[in-house]
A and B are shown apart, each in its own frame.
Chain A
């Protein structure tokens, strides 16, 4: 984590950094993602992953989900700075260990190798909602949805079963239960 403050004000007190998932509802207009991302890079905030897509075509609203790390003070600043952007409607912030929120990432794994290895690979993926998207004699493409650290682990594990390519999304988040964030 880079320190976003001026050199003149270097603080010797170190606060603990936490991972937060920031959800931003924005007008889906040109340059809006650049504004959000530029705010992070310009002020030295960290982006671990990013997911963005339009969620309301009628109202032209996109939902951006950003995973970031920072001290409580930095995370507060991120939220407040985001809220100042003209196309931003609302900003939600969840801690990664918040049990009342679901976080999911998706990954595609391409496995190339002999039948036995592929079988083992599929078996290893099973508990992460594995879906077989493509199969040939020598290869398989497996889709999994899981948490970031689980996918990290899978990526490591599958190497020995012939993993040749990984493609993954950023995290998306949603609260549990009937409540929605307003």
Chain B
């Protein structure tokens, strides 16, 4: 008879077989048997967070920057409900997480026991799938299945709820068998015929544009390679969504910058006027499309995505290739080369006018801002940060708001997996714990959270985690004392009635840093900025950097809600004629 293991031991056996190195978690009554078992498994290191939401975001940062699934371990009841925000965030941004939650013992389920909640019920709409283990026999099979679901297809979070009695129960363990295909959910549905159709469209196009997204990052570094090769072969202009930044080098001439609500003038106008739009691993999110009826009206649209439900969800497309971005793109470039179709040469004439037009848009210099000698402009701060860190292999996380958009606009990413931001859910408080997770995955690398002072206070307690594990994360706060994006919208939509968007009593971030046992730096004048940033970079340990920026600066360019791509506001002087009216006012 084979050796018997407890449920808690089986949890670790599974994690070991899945090559898990780190767990982000927080103990509690219903997971104590699992925590008790931790000491016997030296290959797995537990990172103790200060709030379960932090565990979730840290695991997201870990996953996004490493390409491996992030593991979260929380207790029942409040432990599970606290992680819901992070699970939803991961679901929206397609980040693979495996969350293990404790549950009250099976005989108490449904009795409103202490720290009981319907965890699988609560997390059902924010996970790809979840399981409540009612029988120890199902535990190992389910855990391995959980990893498979989280990491295959369009990645996402899953949750396994394990009652305390199951953690104590004993059973044998066998290693996972070769994966079976589940319910016929295969990933690649495209055919060579569709590839040929795409190439035909590319040949005919006079005004093409490639619009790439987070799917390229999720498909792995080779997908970014394939994308770069395709762009190079075709000579087409490329723009990227927020999540896709880094898949294509941000400083390359064929890159038009980010598109969408705060995207560049050239990217959005190119999207509007193009005759061929190739969406690679993006999902026509509402931040990208603007007004649906006027979205890219003259173009043939191609959509490459691993998730069939993304096709035709928002925008009807002419050609859909369902599959892993990497595989699809490699097939496209292979076919291009095989037929020795050198689009760059043959198309040069055809699309040269298109490039001329794009150059004209570029001269608008839409990311321009009026710099100042008196106050630090937030855009300037991000630009200086970029200049001083671009030679290092830097990982950037952000919170959510104006600072996030400035970071996306002014920090240029040249590699995938270097940019971690909450795009879909827009979770304030994401960046700091995410930076913790990124630093865990890349202990020797420079990790900076470009933050806003309002966002960062939502999960500030994780500085304590950073100090405990000697994680030298740099929290670069663009402190404008406002919830900047809220204020900006109040300015545009509500006659500058800044209802509750000003933070009256902010903490002294220097003292706060010292209280946590890390370093605090403050920069108040543009002249000091470089010196202070250098001081931050040279300090070997976590830093909170309080960068006092102009409190009235707004994030431009901007597509006002309810408007189309070619109706951008370029700067503060322009907004009168482009006022948001009627229906647009009710949109988010």
Partner of A42, one of B125, B129, B307, B588: B125
Chain B positions 535-588 with a Cβ under 8 Å from a chain A Cβ: 561-562, 583, 586-588
The answer for the CA separation of A112 and B581 in the assembled complex, in Å, is 60
In the complex, the chain B residue whose C-beta lies closest to that of A73 is B312
Interchain residue pairs with CB less than 8 A apart (23): A5-B286, A6-B286, A6-B588, A7-B586, A9-B291, A11-B293, A30-B132, A30-B134, A35-B124, A38-B124, A76-B312, A77-B313, A80-B308, A83-B185, A83-B308, A84-B307, A84-B308, A85-B129, A86-B149, A88-B183, A89-B183, A90-B183, A90-B184
In the complex, the chain B residue whose C-beta lies closest to that of A26 is B183
Chain B positions 280-323 with a Cβ under 8 Å from a chain A Cβ: 286-287, 289-293, 307-309, 311-314, 316
* A10 and B583 in contact, given A81-B309, A84-B309 (Cβ under 8 angstroms): yes
The 3 closest A-B pairs by CB, nearest first: A80-B309, A8-B286, A86-B129
* A5 and B125 in contact, given A11-B293, A31-B120 (Cβ under 8 angstroms): no
The answer for the CA separation of A38 and B307 in the assembled complex, in Å, is 20
**B415 on interface, CB distance cutoff 8 Å:** no
* A12 and B293 in contact, given A30-B132, A81-B309 (Cβ under 8 angstroms): yes
The answer for the CA separation of A30 and B132 in the assembled complex, in Å, is 9
Give B306 Cβ to nearest chain A Cβ, in Å.
11
Give B314 Cβ to nearest chain A Cβ, in Å.
6
**B121 on interface, CB distance cutoff 8 Å:** yes
Known interface pairs A6-B286, A86-B182; 16 further A-B residue pairs with C-beta atoms within 8 A, sorted by A's residue number: A10-B292, A10-B587, A13-B293, A31-B132, A34-B124, A73-B312, A80-B308, A80-B309, A81-B309, A83-B308, A83-B309, A86-B149, A86-B183, A89-B183, A89-B184, A90-B183
In the complex, the chain B residue whose C-beta lies closest to that of A11 is B292
* A8 and B149 in contact, given A31-B124, A88-B183 (Cβ under 8 angstroms): no
The answer for the CA separation of A35 and B287 in the assembled complex, in Å, is 28
Give B190 Cβ to nearest chain A Cβ, in Å.
16
* A34 and B121 in contact, given A7-B587, A77-B313, A86-B128 (Cβ under 8 angstroms): yes
Q: Enumerate chain A residues within 8 angstroms of B292, measured Cβ to Cβ.
A: 5, 9-11
A7 near B588 with CB under 8 A, answer yes
Q: Pick the most buried of A12, A31, A86: most chain B CB atoms within 10 A of its CB.
A: A86
A9 near B314 with CB under 8 A, answer yes
In the complex, which range does the number of interface residues on chain B fall in? 20 to 34
In the complex, the chain A residue whose C-beta lies closest to that of B583 is A10
User: Quick one: CB contact mask for A57-96 with B, threshold 8 Å, 1 for yes?
Assistant: 0000000000000000100110011011111111000000
A8 near B124 with CB under 8 A, answer no
Give A152 Cβ to nearest chain B Cβ, in Å.
33
Q: Enumerate chain B residues within 8 angstroms of A87, measured Cβ to Cβ.
A: 183
B587 near A77 with CB under 8 A, answer no
The answer for the CA separation of A76 and B308 in the assembled complex, in Å, is 10
* A38 and B125 in contact, given A8-B588, A10-B583, A12-B293 (Cβ under 8 angstroms): yes
The answer for the CA separation of A69 and B336 in the assembled complex, in Å, is 44
In the complex, the chain A residue whose C-beta lies closest to that of B586 is A7
The answer for the CA separation of A81 and B313 in the assembled complex, in Å, is 10
User: Quick one: CB contact mask for B87-107 with A, threshold 8 Å, 1 for yes?
Assistant: 000000000000000000000
In the complex, the chain A residue whose C-beta lies closest to that of B134 is A30
In the complex, the chain B residue whose C-beta lies closest to that of A13 is B293
The answer for the CA separation of A84 and B149 in the assembled complex, in Å, is 11
Q: Enumerate chain A residues within 8 angstroms of B124, measured Cβ to Cβ.
A: 31, 34-35, 38
The answer for the CA separation of A7 and B561 in the assembled complex, in Å, is 10
Q: Enumerate chain B residues within 8 angstroms of A11, measured Cβ to Cβ.
A: 292-293
The answer for the CA separation of A59 and B313 in the assembled complex, in Å, is 33
Q: Enumerate chain A residues within 8 angstroms of B182, measured Cβ to Cβ.
A: 86
Q: Enumerate chain B residues within 8 angstroms of A9, measured Cβ to Cβ.
A: 286, 289, 291-292, 314
In the complex, the chain A residue whose C-beta lies closest to that of B311 is A80
In the complex, the chain B residue whose C-beta lies closest to that of A82 is B309
The answer for the CA separation of A90 and B184 in the assembled complex, in Å, is 9
Give A33 Cβ to nearest chain B Cβ, in Å.
11
Chain B positions 135-166 with a Cβ under 8 Å from a chain A Cβ: 149
The answer for the CA separation of A6 and B292 in the assembled complex, in Å, is 11
The answer for the CA separation of A181 and B298 in the assembled complex, in Å, is 39
Chain A positions 35-50 with a Cβ under 8 Å from a chain B Cβ: 35, 38, 42
Q: Enumerate chain B residues within 8 angstroms of A73, measured Cβ to Cβ.
A: 312, 316
Q: Enumerate chain B residues within 8 angstroms of A6, measured Cβ to Cβ.
A: 286, 588
User: Quick one: CB contact mask for A111-143 with B, threshold 8 Å, 1 for yes?
Assistant: 000000000000000000000000000000000
The answer for the CA separation of A9 and B291 in the assembled complex, in Å, is 6
Q: Enumerate chain A residues within 8 angstroms of B125, measured Cβ to Cβ.
A: 38, 42
Q: Enumerate chain A residues within 8 angstroms of B286, measured Cβ to Cβ.
A: 5-6, 8-9
Q: Pick the most buried of A8, A30, A84: most chain B CB atoms within 10 A of its CB.
A: A8
In the complex, the chain A residue whose C-beta lies closest to that of B294 is A12
Give A176 Cβ to nearest chain B Cβ, in Å.
25
Chain B positions 177-191 with a Cβ under 8 Å from a chain A Cβ: 182-185
Q: Enumerate chain A residues within 8 angstroms of B121, measured Cβ to Cβ.
A: 31, 34
Give B469 Cβ to nearest chain A Cβ, in Å.
35
The answer for the CA separation of A80 and B318 in the assembled complex, in Å, is 18
Give B33 Cβ to nearest chain A Cβ, in Å.
23
The answer for the CA separation of A117 and B311 in the assembled complex, in Å, is 57
Q: Enumerate chain B residues within 8 angstroms of A34, measured Cβ to Cβ.
A: 121, 124
Q: Enumerate chain B residues within 8 angstroms of A76, measured Cβ to Cβ.
A: 312
Give B333 Cβ to nearest chain A Cβ, in Å.
28
Q: Pick the most buried of B121, B124, B586: most chain A CB atoms within 10 A of its CB.
A: B124
Q: Enumerate chain A residues within 8 angstroms of B307, measured Cβ to Cβ.
A: 84
Give A26 Cβ to nearest chain B Cβ, in Å.
9
Q: Enumerate chain B residues within 8 angstroms of A5, measured Cβ to Cβ.
A: 286, 292, 314
* A77 and B293 in contact, given A6-B588, A30-B132, A86-B128 (Cβ under 8 angstroms): no
Q: Pick the most buried of A9, A13, A38, A83: most chain B CB atoms within 10 A of its CB.
A: A9
The answer for the CA separation of A140 and B185 in the assembled complex, in Å, is 50
Q: Enumerate chain A residues within 8 angstroms of B586, measured Cβ to Cβ.
A: 7
Give A23 Cβ to nearest chain B Cβ, in Å.
15
Give B232 Cβ to nearest chain A Cβ, in Å.
33
